[in-house]
Structure 1
Amino acid sequence: MSVSNVSLGHTNSSVTWSYCLVLSLGIPQLVINLISIGCNCLVILAMVSARHQHKPIFILFGSLALSDLLSSSSSFWIALLFLTEPEDTVYGSAALMHAYAILAISILSTVYNLMSIGIERYLTVADCLRPRYRISHCQAWLAAGTSWLLAGLFGALPLMGWNCLGNEEASSALYRPLCIDYLLFITIPNCVVTFACLTFTYVAIIVILKRQKGIIVAQGHVSNSYRVAEAHVAKTSVVIWIMTAVSYAPFFSSVLWDAIDHSPLEDLHIHIYVFRNFTAMMITLNSLVNPIVYSQKLKGLGNTVGSFRCPVNNKVHMQTANNA
C-alpha cells in the first residue's frame, strides 16, 4: 500500500496520519479484540452450562468475564472509529464519547470484580478459622451486582454531562472529549484501592497459611500442604500483580502525563497518539488473559485449602473451603 497522508484539518496541527500507520495500529487492535471477545464468550458459556461450577467464586468469575467481554466489544468499537475517522480520536466526537463511556464502565466493572474475587479468596481461606465468614451465593450475586452498579454510575458520568464537548481548555489531550478531571477522578482512586485490596488479601492469605502451619506443627502433625499452598498463593499473587500493573500502567501514566502537560493541541506529535493506541491494546490484552489466570489459577486455591486440617477444640479435622 502506498503511503498517503491524512491531514487533520480542524486546526493547525503537527499530527498527520498515514494510511499505513492507521492500519498498522487499527488492525491488530481489531484482531486482539475479536480474540478476547471469543475467549470471554466461551468462559461465560462454560460457567452457565456447567452446573458443578455454580459456586460463589464462579459467579464472580462469570461477572469478570462479562466485564472483559464488554471491554473488548467497546474497544472494538473504538478501533473501528479510529480506522474510519482517525482525526476524530484526536479532536473528539459524540460517537467517541459514547464508546469511551462504555469502555469506562467495563474497565471499572473489571476492577471491582477483581477486588471481589480477591476478597472472596481471602474469606475462603479464613473460613478455615472463622466458618461464619463463608460466602453464600446471594452474597456473591450482591458483590457482582454492586460492582456493575458502581461501574455504571461512575462510567456513565460523561453521558450525564461531565464531558468536554466544545470545551477545549478542560479536555483531555489524549482521550477527547473526556475531561481530564474526570479521568483523574476515576483513575487514581480506583488504581490505589485496587492494588491495596489485592495486596492485602493475598498477603493475608499467606499469613493465615503460615499461622495454621505453625499450629499444626505444634500439635505434632507434619505436613507439606501449607508450604505448597504458600508457594501457590505467592505465585498466583505475583502473576496477578504483574499482569494488572503491566496492563494498566501505560493508561495510568498517560492520564498523569495528560494532567501535568499543558501543551496546546497544535504542539502535540503523532507518537503521543501512537502511545494512546498502545494503552488501549494493553487493556484489551488484560481482558484476554483474565479468564485464563482467574479460572485456572485461583480455583485451585480453594481446592488446595480444602485439603487442610484446621485445628478446632484441640482436634484436627477436615475443612472443605472449596465449598465456600
Structure 2
Amino acid sequence: MNEDTKVNISWLPQDRIDASSPENISTADSSLIPELIVNPWDIVLCTSGTLISCENAIVVLIIFHNPSLRAPMFLLIGSLALADLLAGIGLIVNFIFAYLLQSEVAKLVTVGLIAASFCASVCSLLAITVDRYLSLYYALTYNSERTTTFTYVMLIFLWGVSTCVGLLPIMGWNCLKDESTCSIIRPLTKNNTAALSVSFLLMFALMLQLYIQICKIVMRHAHQIALQHHFLATSHYVTTRKGVSTLAIILGTFAACWMPFTLYSLIADYTYPSIYTYATLLPATYNSVINPVIYAFRNQEIQKALWLICCGCIPPSVSQRARSPSDV
C-alpha cells in the first residue's frame, strides 16, 4: 500500500514514517494490516467530546426552557454551556470526518468550529468572572437594566470575536499551501496559534487579577459583618474561607486544564511528535467537562429546574437550602 493512501488522522500532525525503510515497505505491502487504523487518542478525544456534549446540552436545555433563568448570571452560564456544547460536537465531528470524509475542506471547517467554540468557552469564563466582580463591587445597583444591557453587549462581543477566529482557517489563514508554517494544530499556522496562546495568557492574567479583587471584597464584607455581630465571627470566617477556597479551585482548575496546551503551542510546531499535542490538548477538553459542574449544577436555581424536569418535584433539602457562599 502506497504511503500516499494512508489516512491523515484529524487536524493534528501525524508522525511521519520513513518509507525508505525495508521494515516500513514490507509493512505497507502487507495485506494483513487494515487500511484504516483508528488512533486511540482520537477515540479518547471523541469520547471526551461525547461527554462534553451530553453535560452541556442538559444545561442549555434547562436555561432555555426556564423563563425564570434570564438573569445576567444565567445568560453567561448558558453562553459557557453553549460554547462547550459546540466544542464537544466539534470533537465528535472531527473524529467522523477524519475517518469517513477525508478532505481539506472538512478539516478547515472542523478546526474552525473547534477553535471558535473553545475561544467562546474561555471568553465566557472571563465574562462570568467580570460579572461576579461587578455583582460584588456594585452590589446595590447590580440588578439594574444597565447590568442586563452590559451582559448582552459582552455576549455579542465574545461570540463575534469567537466567530471571527473560527472563520480564519476557511478564509485562507491556513498552512495548506506551505506546510512549513503549520502549527501543532493543522491547518492553523504557527503565527495564528501563537497569537491565540498569547491572548489566552492575557485573559488568564485578567481573570487572576479579578479573582484577587473578588477575594478582597468578600473578606472585607465578612470582616465588617463580623465586627457588627461578634457572635457570628466564627461562622463568617468559615464561610469566607470556603468562598476563597472555591475561587482558588476554579482558577486552579482552569489553569491546570489549559496551561499545558497553551505553553506547548508557543514552543512547538508541526515537526514535534503528535503524542505531545494529544497529551496537552486532552486536559484542555476536560475543562469543558468540569465547567457544568462548577458553574451550573452547583447553582441552586438550576438544581431546582433539573429536579422538576427529572421527577416533577423539588426535594425539601434543595428548596430550603440557602445560596451557598461558594457560588460567589
- TM-score of the superposition, structure 1-length normalised? 0.76
Structure 1 stretch 289-298 or stretch 160-169: which is displaced more?
289-298
Amino acid corresponding to residue 293 of structure 1 in structure 2: I
- When the two chains are superposed, the root-mean-square deviation of aligned CA atoms in Å is 3.4
* Match status 1:281 vs 2:282: yes
Contact 1:216 1:222 in 2 (8 A): no
- The equivalences for 1:71-220 within 5 A come to 71-84=87-100, 93-128=104-139, 131=141, 136-172=147-183, 174-189=184-199, 191-219=200-228
Which one has a larger percent strand, Structure 1 or Structure 2? 1
Q: SS at the partner of 2:164?
A: helix
- The CA deviation at 1:121 is 0.8
Contact in 2 for aligned 1:205/1:233 (Cα 8 Å): no
Matching residue within 59, 63, 82 for 2:79: 63
Shift, 1:39, TM fit:
1.1
**3-state DSSP of counterpart to 2:68:** helix
Pick from 13, 17, 21 the counterpart of residue 14 of structure 1.
Answer: 17
Q: Which amino acid in structure 2 is aligned with residue 255 of structure 1? A: S
CA contact (8 A) 1:236 1:297 kept: no
Which sections of structure 1, spanning at least 5 residues, go unmatched?
Answer: 307-320
Of 28, 38, 61, the residue aligned with 1:45 is 61
Q: How far 1:106 sits from its partner (Å)?
A: 0.7
Structure-1 separation of matches of 2:239 and 2:211 = 12
Query: Paired residue for 1:33?
Result: 49
More divergent stretch after superposition (177-186 vs 13-22): 13-22
Task: Tell me: higher relative CO, structure 1 or 2? Use CA pairs within 8 A at least 6 residues apart.
Answer: 1
- 1:272-313 per-residue CA deviation (whole Å, 9 max, x = no partner) reads 21232333432332212211111145779x93569xxxxxxx
Deviation at 1:258, TM superposition (A): 1.8
Cα distance change on mapping 1:232 and 1:295 into 2, 3 Å: farther
Deviation at residue 81 of structure 1 after TM alignment: 3.3
Q: Which region of structure 1 is more displaced relative to structure 2, 133-142 or 200-209? A: 133-142
Give the C-alpha shift of residue 141 in structure 1.
2.1
Q: Report the Cα offset of residue 126 of structure 1.
A: 1.7
Distance 1:43 1:79 in 2: 24
Provide the C-alpha distance between the structure 2 equivalents of 1:12 and 1:171, rounded to a whole number of angstroms: 14
Instruction: Flag the 1:55–1:43 CA change in 2: closer, same or farther, 3 A.
Output: same
Residues 87-126 of structure 1, C-alpha deviations (whole Å, 9 max, x = no match): x7xxx93321221111111111111110110111111122
1:236 correspondence with 2:237: no
Matched letter for residue 74 of structure 1: G
Instruction: Give the TM-score normalised by structure 2.
Output: 0.75
- Quote how far apart the aligned CAs of 1:63 are: 0.5
Instruction: Supply the distance in 1 between the matched residues of 2:142 and 2:249 (Cα, whole angstroms).
Output: 30
Displacement of 1:74 after TM fit?
1.0
**DSSP-derived class of the 2:180 partner:** coil
Q: 1:210 to 1:253 in 2, by over 3 A?
A: closer
Aligned partners of 1:6, 1:35: CA distance in 2, in Å?
37
What is the CA-CA distance between 1:182 and the residue it aligns to?
A: 0.7
CA distance in 1, matches of 2:135, 2:142: 11
Counterpart CA distance in 2 for 1:192 and 1:48 is 32
Q: For residue 292 of structure 2, what is the amino acid of its counterpart?
A: P
Counterparts of 1:280 and 1:7, CA distance in 2? 27
Post-superposition Cα deviations, 1:10-56, rounded to whole Å, max 9, x if no partner, equal: 89933799879734222222222112111111101111222332211
Identify if the C-alpha distance between structure 1 residues 21 and 282 changes in structure 2 by more than 3 Å, giving closer, same or farther: farther
Change (3 A) 1:235 1:7: farther
Deviation at 1:6, TM superposition (A): 9.3
Q: Which residue of 2 aligns with 1:254?
A: 264
What per-residue deviation string (whole Å, max 9, x for no partner) do you get for residues 120-162 of structure 1? 111112233x536856333222211211011112332222221
